[in-house]
Amino acid sequence: MPWLEIFGWTGSAILVFSMMQQRIMRLRIINLIGCIIHVIYNTVIGAWPIVGLNVVLSLVQIVNLYKLLNTRHDDREYQVVDTRVDDPYLAHLMNQQRDDIAKFNPHFTGIESATHAFLIMKGAETVGYVLAHDGRDGRAHIDLDFVSEKYRDFTPGEFVFTNPAWFTDHGFHTVVAPASGPDYYPNVGFDKTDEGYVKALA
């Protein structure tokens, strides 16, 4: 098989592989690579309608990637909903995602100790949730900071912590999170201490 044919088939394989991705950022990046390969391949063989199609698809992916990256820290794109820990919808989400919760949050022992819950929404879609319990000392202790697989390349949990009112309205002056928590915590005001990540609320 000539190298050019191999190149074209590789592009097709990459496109198929991209459609198997659950994480939206990874899907778009891999799909863009496949489209670019097809632009090159079909330009060489002179299949201009296919070139045009893949140029358009490449531009669509570039625009979507720009929007995703440009709005990843935009609180107009993500909303926080303060809910009850016994909310049936939250229970349903956690049941559906229990394997991922256990995999990415091995310290989490269950919702039983939680006293506060926050859903992170993007439009009508729930992209994550944060659970915390009352330390009885004015400190909220984070039990779980979970992001659905589709948005795992982003940090939607940050919107719970960038607005102190989500905690101060419940009487908290400090938030404490496990040392094994997400890497983004220092970017939203947490300090690394011996007891984990700690954020004093203004």
Across 186-197, average pLDDT: 94
| The predicted structure's pLDDT at residue 181 | 86
Q: What is the pLDDT of residue 151?
A: 94
pLDDT digits (tens, 9 = 90+) for 95-122: 999 999 999 988 898 899 999 999 999 9
Within 13 Å of residue 12, how many CA atoms lie on the same side as its CB? Answer: 9
**What Å distances lie between residue 33 and 26, 39, 61, 64, 67, CA to CA?**
11, 10, 10, 14, 18
Between β-strands 79-83 and 116-122, what pairing exists: parallel, antiparallel or unpaired? antiparallel
Q: Name the average pLDDT for the chain.
A: 94
- pLDDT at position 1 is 62
Picking from 17-21, 34-38, 40-44, 103-107, which range would have the lowest pLDDT averaged per residue?
103-107
- For 73-94, write each residue's pLDDT tens digit: 998 899 999 999 999 999 999 9
Assessment of whether the complete model's pTM goes beyond 0.75: yes
At what angle are helices 24-45 and 48-70 packed, to 10 degrees? Answer: 160
Whether 25 has a pLDDT exceeding 70, the answer reads yes
Give per-residue pLDDT as tens, 161-184. Answer: 999 999 999 999 999 999 988 999
Mean pLDDT of 5-18: 95
The answer to whether residues 129 and 93 touch, using CB atoms and an 8 Å cutoff, is yes
Structural contact between residues 117 and 130, judged by C-beta atoms closer than 8 angstroms: yes
